[in-house]
Amino acid sequence: MPRLMIAPACLAALSIAASATFGEDLAPDQMGPYQFSAIVNADNVYARSDSSENDYPVAKLSKGDALTVVGNNGDWLKVLPPDGVYCLVGKAWIDARGNGAVGRVREDATAVNVRIASPLSKSYGKVVTQVKAGTDVKIIGQQEEYYQIAPPAGAFAYVHKRFVELVKRVTVVNDHGQLVVNQPGANDKPGDKPADNNGGGPKLVVVPPIPAGLDTAKPTTEPADSGVAGKTEPGQLAGGTPTTGPSDTGPATQPAVAAVEDESFETLEARFNAATKLPLAEQPIDDLIGRYQKVVDAKAVPSSMMQIADFRLKGLTLRKEAAETLKQASAERQTREQAQMPLREEAKEITQRMAANESKRYTAVGTLRASSLPSNGKTLYRLTDPATGRTVIYLSDANADTVSREGTFVGVRGPVTDDTARQIKLITPQSIEPVDPADLAKGTVSSGMVPPSLASTSEAAR
């Protein structure tokens, strides 16, 4: 934005008090009877969608930025939308023409809502004016189901008067739906009236000096007067509820208007939100507490921001207590685990020794031999006494692994059944393992059925 250099004499003349008032509080679609060029007198000042600190910001202004004031609403000055501000209209009501840079409101639309927005805020619910059927609008982009358009006549932003210094009278005219600012001409004389928009002549409204109630020019000899202390605009909670269309999907807090040690409040809020996504033990809680405490101690932000900072501090304090409790519990658990480790290792060793010395238990043991008795056309196998060859028990089934162990002294596990027709006992093998007969005498192998020649050694082991 251009920055205006104002001579001290001019500012003094413009600051002369008068009994006239600046105008009554106005509806959003009206302009006041007096218009002025103006400059911003502080950094980090927000122009908002309406005349309160609860309305979302649409532009961030710096000291020296130029504004055009067209009216007021209480302590808030109504200004033409600053650079970067645009408006939104529903695509359904606009017919784009040519290369898409111009649109016309459809004839079947009686009045289409116009919402004020900017890249600064995700909020765009505030309806600031309406456009009628047949009105042309300048399309500058698209946003979801909306066209972004240049602000039409009737779309205004608001800045608190303490951040604005009025400079000189101007006149604002409606030029085919767009408001145009006419600067004073060289031949303008006091008392001239504004010319018709279609005619010639001067277009400057010359009226009595700036009203006392809106004499915003103030000395700014001390840097602190135009910075954080006393000149920074009130904070902002998300606001602006649309009559139709999308709701505000932006963050719960709008960007802050002051910096704390080179970090803005919105950056601090972003740090907080990012930390919240981390596990509790990994959150930089102490760092966040320190940063929010600086905000509270500095008292450099508006009351709404102070309330948020205070709320964050209380929540972070609770998080810190929870994190310390979690850390203590983790340390105690590690201590217990370290104390129990020798016990676990000892139990493991005992288990291994018991397993090594544990007696292997089988249903029956004996030398595996083929039988002369058939079983469903297959060879029947049996366990025999290695000394006499007499049968201990028959196997009901035999697979390749069983056959491969023929002639070997084995142990077999499995359920035992009686074959009453042939008057024999059968074991259904679940496992077959080679066994050393000497282990029966050692007691490391036991069995429910033992060959008679080995029964005495097995009994002795028991």
* CATH code for the domain of 376: 2.40.50
- The answer to whether residue 432 sits within a structural domain is yes
Compare 172 and 226 and report the one with higher pLDDT: 172
Please state, for a pLDDT cut of 70, what percent of the chain lies above it: 71
With respect to residue 253, please indicate whether it lies within any of the assigned structural domains: no
**Contact (Cβ atoms closer than 8 angstroms) between residue 243 and residue 112:** no
Residue 140 located in a structural domain: yes
| Range scoring the smallest mean pLDDT among 97-106, 201-210, 267-276, 417-426 | 201-210
Going through 207-320 in order, the beta strands assigned E by DSSP cover 259-260, 263-264
Q: Cα separation of 330 and 332, whole Å?
A: 5
pLDDT of residue 409: 95
pLDDT for res 16: 31
| pLDDT, position 231 | 33
> How confident is the model over 241-264, as a mean pLDDT?
40
For position 356, what pLDDT does the model report?
63
Residue whose structure tokens are 């005495």: 456
In a domain, 332, yes or no: no
Q: Could you tell me which residues are beta bridge partners of residue 147?
A: 89, 142
pLDDT for 32: 62
Structure confidence by residue, pLDDT tens digits, 318-345: 999 998 998 888 888 888 888 888 888 8
Contact of 225 with 44, CB cutoff 8 Å: no
Residue 271, domain member (yes or no): no
The more confidently predicted of residues 458 and 69 is 69
pLDDT of the residue at 89: 92
Reported as a pLDDT band with limits 50, 70 and 90, residue 373 is confident
241-245 average pLDDT score: 38
- Residue ending a domain, among 190, 209, 231, is 231
Range of the domain at 147: 8-231
Query: Which residues are CB-neighbours of 387 under 8 A, at least 6 positions away?
Result: 451, 452, 453, 454
Residue 306, pLDDT score: 85
Flag whether 82 is in a domain.
yes
Rounded mean pLDDT, 251-267: 48
Pairwise CA distance, residues 292 & 282, whole Å? 19
Q: Which residues pair with 413 in a beta bridge?
A: 431
Confidence band of 457 (pLDDT split at 50, 70, 90):
low
Decide which of 231, 249, 275 is a domain's last residue. Answer: 231
What value does the mean pLDDT of the chain take?
75
Span 263-289, mean pLDDT? 88
Domain boundary pick from 215, 231, 247? 231
Q: What is the pLDDT of residue 284?
A: 93
Q: From CA 62, how far away is CA 46, in angstroms rounded?
A: 9
Q: Are residues 55 and 197 part of one domain? A: yes
Domain count, the chain: 2
pLDDT grade for 30, boundaries at 50, 70 and 90: low
- Of residues 195 and 47, which shows the higher confidence score? 47
Residue 180 included in any domain: yes
Angle at alpha carbon of residue 117, lines to 116 and 121, rounded to 5°? 140
Between 211 and 94, the higher pLDDT residue: 94
Within a domain: residue 395? yes
How do residues 403-439 score in pLDDT, each as one tens digit? 888 999 999 999 999 988 888 999 999 999 999 998 8
Q: Note whether 29 and 70 are within 8 A (CB).
A: no
How does pLDDT run across 170-221, given as a tens digit for each residue? Answer: 877 776 666 767 665 444 444 444 433 333 333 333 333 344 444 444 433 3
Q: For residue 210, which of 77, 80, 82 has the smallest C-alpha distance?
A: 77
